[in-house]
Structure 1
Amino acid sequence: MWPLTKLLLINILIATSHGIVHEREALIEKELKMMVGHSIKLSDREIEANEIIMDLKREEIDYGFWNPKDFNLSKHFFEYKEQVKDTKLYKILKSMPKGAMLHGHDTAILGPDYMLELTYCDDLWVCFKEDQSDVSFIFSKHRPTGWCETKWERAMDIRRSTNFRKFDAKLRKFFTLVIDNPQEVYTDVNTVWEYFMKYFIRTGPLFTYKPVWEKYYYHTLLALREDNVMYLEIRSVLPPLYDLEGNIYNSVDTAKSYKRVTEKFKKDYPDFFGAKLIYAPIRSVATETLKNYIKIAKEIHELMPDFLAGFDLVGQEDLGKPLKEFYPELANIGLNLYFHAGETNWYGTSTDENLFDAILLGTKRIGHAFALVKHPLLMKEVQKRKIALEMNVISNVVLKLVDDVRNHPLATYLSQDMPVVLSSDDPGTWEAEILTHDFYVTFVGVSSRHADLKMLKQLALNSLYYSSHRAKRKMVHEFQIRWAKFIDAILKDRPDRVHV
C-alpha cells in the first residue's frame, strides 16, 4: 500500500510543479505583452535579424550578470563611452534608422572636437583668466575693448607664436564636461549643473557670432543625418546674434536664421525631413520677463507658423521657478507646449509637482519626466492623454540623477508601454553620439533582457508619431523603407551566411 501512496504523492508533486511552471511561463508572457513594442509583428526576415541582435545583447548582459564589476553600463558614462563603440551591437544600432530627435538643445549637440574647429575661424579673440581656469571668446575686427582679466589675443596669433597642439588641448577642455574623475568632482546635482551652465556662458559669444551660429546649426543637421536621424525638433533660447559690422539681431531674427539654414539643408539633402523650433528660454525669470518671452514666441509663430513647434522653459528645474507661478501667463498662451518637468530626484516638492502643472497646462510632451514614476496617477494621465515622455538616459547619468542606468525609471516606462521617445538632450557636452549612445544604453542597460527588435522599432516610430511634423505618414513610410534596408544589411553581414 505504501509504495502506491508514495507513487501517487510523487505524481501529485510533479503535476503541481508542472502547473506552477506553466503558470510562471504564462505570467512572464503576459508581462512581456505589456512592454513597449509588444504590438509589433516581426516579419520572417526581422525575426532572423532579431536573433542576431538578441544574441549580441544577451552576450553582453549575461557576461555582466556573472562579472558585475566588468559591466560597463553600471559605471559612469565617461568610463565606457568609447569602449562600447567597438562592439558589434553598437555598430548595428549606429546603422539603425532612429526616426526623429525631439529633445535636443541647440548649442550642446556637437562635441568638443567640432567646437575646437570653430576657434580656427578668422577674427576670433580669446581671453584667459589669470589662473587659466576659464576663457572668454569674442569675434571682432579689432582688439576688443570688453573687460578681460589678462589680455585679449587673436586665437590665430597664439597658434603662430606657441605650440598650437598644446593650445588646442587647453581650449578643448573648456568645451566638454568629460573628465577622468567625475564622481569626485561632480559630487551632486548643483555642482555638476554649475559646471554645465559655465559651458553655455563661456561659449555664448562664440556661438552667437552669426556666421558661426549658422555654420554650427548646419553641421548639427548633418551630424543628425549621419546618425540616421530623419527629423529634428530643436530647443533654443534664441539669443541675439552679432556680426563684425556691429549689427545685433534679435530673437526673431535668430529664429529666421534657423529657418533659412533648415531650408538650405533640406535643399542640399532632400532625404532629410527638416526641423522645427521649440522656443525654450530660461525658467528662472520674473513674470514680466516671461510675458516678453511669450510675446516673442507669438511673433515668431505669426511669421513662421509651420516652423515654430511650440514653447518650453529650460534650466536647472530644482533651482528654477515652478510652473504653478506662471499659470496666468501660460494657461491661455495659444501655442503648443513641450515642458521640461520632473527632472529631479525629489518627491513631493515643487520640482516633481511641475509634472501636475505641465499636464494640466496641456503639454504635448514632457522633457525628462524622471520623477513621473513616483506618481502613479500621473502615469495613467500621461497614457490617457497620449503625452510623450522625452527620455534622455545619459543626460540623467551625467547630471547626477542616477548612477546606474539599470535603476533608471525608463525601465518602468518601457515595461508598461508608456509613450516613450528617446533623445539625448546635450550630447556634445558629454561627447556622446547624437542618438546611438542613448539607444545602446537603453537597449542593453535599461530595458529588460527580453526586450528586442520590436522595442527598438517602436521607439523609433514613437519619435515620428509624437513629432509635430505634418507629414507623419510620409515620414513613417520612408522610415519603413529604411528599416527594411537596415534589416537586409544585418542579414547580409551575419557571420554564418553562406556565400555562393
Structure 2
Amino acid sequence: MWPLTIILLTNILLAMSQIHKIVLKERETLIERELKMMVGYSIELSATELVANEIIMDLKRKEIDYGFWNPKYYHLLKHFFEYKELVKDTKLYKILKSMPKGAVLHGHDTGMLGPDYVLELTYCDDLWICFKEDQSDVNFVFAKHRPTGWCATKWERAMDIRRTTNATEFDAKLRKFFTLVVVNPQEVYTDLDTVWDYFMKYFIRTGPLFTYKPVWEKYYYDTLFALREDNVMYFEIRTVLPPLYDLEGNIYNSVDTAKSYKRVTEKFKKDYPDFFGAKLIYAPVRSVARETLKNYIKVAKEIHKLMPDFLAGFDLVSQEDLGKPLKEFYPDLAKSGLNLYFHAGETNWYGTSTDENLFDAVLLGTKRIGHAFALVKHPLLMKEVKKRKIALEVNVISNVVLKLVDDVRNHPLATYLSQNMPVVLSSDDPGVWEAEILTHDFYVAFMGVSSRHADLKMLKQLALNSLYYSSYGEKHKLVREFQIRWMKFIGSILKMK
C-alpha cells in the first residue's frame, strides 16, 4: 500500500511541477510579448549601449525597489514641489541631465525660465513697480518717467525701492509673484480652477515686464541658452505673439514680434552653431469669438508669407475647460491652410466638449496633440492617432502641478508608453514651477510613470521621437547629429564603472 501511495504522490508532484513550469514559461512569454509593445522596443542597443543600460537600470531598480518597500519615503509619490530639488542629487538625475534629449516641441513663450531669472529682470533700468494696497499683487511697466497708468498705490522705480528699503527682503517678496511653488500646494491649490487662476495671474502680472522689447528679446535668447544647457538641440515655441513696446512710445504688433523672434533665433544660432534653431507656433487664446479667430488666422498667414520657414503652425491655448471648443471654429480652421498643432484633451472630464476636442483636432488634421491627457479614454481615437502618426506632446509635471493627476504612477503616459504610442516628452511652462527645461520631465517619466522594465531604449526613442515629429525641414541632419552626441553620452556613462 505504502509503495503505491509513494508512487502516486511522486507522480502528482511531478505533474504539478510540470504544470508550474508551463505556467511560468507562459508567464515569461506574456511579459516578454507585452514589453515588445513598449516605446523603444524596436531599438537594437550596441555592445557599449548595453553596458550603459545596465548602469542606468541598476540605479533605476534600486530607487524603485526602495520606493516599493518604503512608499512614504519615495520622492515621486509626493507633490513635485517637495522633491524637485532633492532628485537633482541622485546619480540617475545627473545622467539624464547630460543625456541628449532631442527637441522641446511644447513650451510657452514666457513660462520657460524660473523666478530667479525673472527677479533679475527687475534690476533693469527704467522699471516701475506698483503694489496693490494689501501687497497681494504687483504691476510692472518700463518708462522714462513716472507712468500715468492706473495704480492702486503709487508707481515707484524698482531701483529707488531697493535703495530705500531692505533689498533682500524686497526681492524675497517680489520673487513670490514669479512662481507657483509654495510649501503647502495641496492646501493652496485645492482644485484645478484655483491653480489655473494663480497660473494665469502669473502671465497677466508679468506681461508688461516681459513685453518691453529689450527684455522680450533677452528672455528669448536666454531661453534658447537654457535649452542648449539642458542638452536640447531644437525648439518649437508656442507664443501668443503679444504687442511689444519700448521707451520711445513705439508699439510693435504681432508680426513685428514674430520678426523679433526670428532675428534673435538667427543671432543665437550664429553665437552657438551647434544649436539647430527654433520655429514658432502661433498660439493665441481660445476664449474668443469667431471674428477674433479669423483675425488670428490672418496674422498667422501674414507671418507665414513673410517667414515661411520660421512659422511652424497654429494652435489655441489657455484653460481648455473654460475655452471655446474647436468645433465652434471648424470652418475657419479647416480652410486656414495652416499646419495645426492643437492643445486638446487637457482635461479630466469624459464626453464633454473639452474631451471631444480630441476628435476635432484629429479630424482637422493636427500634426501633434498638446497634452492629450484624456486620449486614454478613447480606444478608437488612440488607434487613429497611431495610424495617422499624430504625436502626443506629453507634459507630465505640468499635469501634476495643474491638478489633472496627483500620483504620477496614474498618469496616462504609462498607457501611451506601454502601447508604443507616438509620444514626445515636453515641459510646457517649466519656469513657473521651477523645473529644469526638460530633465525633470524625463526623470519623472522614467522613474515615476514608465514600467520598472523600461530602459535606455525607451529614453533614446523618446528623444528621437522629438526629432522625427518636429517641423524641422532636414530631419536627417538632426538625427545624424543626435547619434553623434548620443554615443558621446554613452561613453560618459561607461566612465562611471
Q: TM-score range by the shorter chain?
A: over 0.9
| Structure 1 residue corresponding to 2:258, chosen from 255, 263, 284 | 255
The letter for the 2-side match of 1:333 is S
- Per the alignment, residue 176 of structure 1 pairs with 179
1:115-264 equivalences in 2 (<5 Å):
115-264=118-267
What is the distance in 2 between the residues matched to 1:127 and 1:341?
A: 37
| Structure 2 residue corresponding to 1:485, chosen from 481, 484, 488 | 488
Secondary structure of 1:401's counterpart equals coil
Q: Do structure 1's residue 436 and structure 2's residue 453 form an aligned pair?
A: no
| Structure 1 residue corresponding to 2:342, chosen from 319, 339, 350 | 339
CA shift for structure 1 position 493:
2.1
CA shift for structure 1 position 6:
1.6
1:461-480 equivalences in 2 (<5 Å):
461-480=464-483
The runs of at least 4 aligned residues of structure 1 exceeding 3 Å deviation read none
CA shift for structure 1 position 10:
1.1
CA deviations 1:171-205 (Å, max 9, x no partner) are 10000000011100101110000000000000000
Q: Do structure 1's residue 453 and structure 2's residue 469 form an aligned pair?
A: no
What is the distance in 2 between the residues matched to 1:163 and 1:188?
A: 36
What is the distance in 1 between the residues matched to 2:179 and 2:39?
A: 34
The letter for the 2-side match of 1:48 is V
What is the distance in 1 between the residues matched to 2:37 and 2:334?
A: 35
The letter for the 2-side match of 1:207 is F
What is the distance in 1 between the residues matched to 2:7 and 2:218?
A: 86
Unaligned runs of 5+ in 1: 495-500
TM-score (norm 2): 0.99
- Per the alignment, residue 408 of structure 1 pairs with 411
Unaligned runs of 5+ in 2: none
| Structure 1 residue corresponding to 2:358, chosen from 355, 359, 365 | 355
| Structure 1 residue corresponding to 2:291, chosen from 288, 291, 295 | 288
What is the distance in 2 between the residues matched to 1:205 and 1:484?
A: 44
What is the distance in 2 between the residues matched to 1:237 and 1:27?
A: 48
What is the distance in 1 between the residues matched to 2:412 and 2:82?
A: 22
The letter for the 2-side match of 1:413 is Y
- Per the alignment, residue 498 of structure 1 pairs with none
What is the distance in 2 between the residues matched to 1:441 and 1:410?
A: 11
Secondary structure of 2:320's counterpart equals coil
What is the distance in 2 between the residues matched to 1:330 and 1:290?
A: 9
Q: Do structure 1's residue 325 and structure 2's residue 319 form an aligned pair?
A: no
- Per the alignment, residue 383 of structure 1 pairs with 386
- Per the alignment, residue 109 of structure 1 pairs with 112
- Per the alignment, residue 24 of structure 2 pairs with 21
What is the distance in 2 between the residues matched to 1:15 and 1:488?
A: 45
Percent of pairs with identical residues: 83
- Per the alignment, residue 81 of structure 1 pairs with 84
What is the distance in 1 between the residues matched to 2:321 and 2:73?
A: 34
What is the distance in 2 between the residues matched to 1:244 and 1:9?
A: 91
Secondary structure of 1:339's counterpart equals strand
| Structure 2 residue corresponding to 1:70, chosen from 69, 73, 78 | 73
What is the distance in 1 between the residues matched to 2:496 and 2:65?
A: 24
What is the distance in 2 between the residues matched to 1:7 and 1:406?
A: 46
CA shift for structure 1 position 471:
1.2
CA shift for structure 1 position 2:
2.3
How many residues are paired up?
494
Secondary structure of 1:101's counterpart equals strand
- Per the alignment, residue 497 of structure 1 pairs with none
What is the distance in 1 between the residues matched to 2:5 and 2:75?
A: 57
What is the distance in 2 between the residues matched to 1:282 and 1:310?
A: 15
TM-score (norm 1): 0.99
The alignment yields a C-alpha RMSD, in angstroms, of 0.4
What is the distance in 2 between the residues matched to 1:361 and 1:201?
A: 31
Secondary structure of 1:389's counterpart equals strand
| Structure 2 residue corresponding to 1:10, chosen from 10, 13, 16 | 13
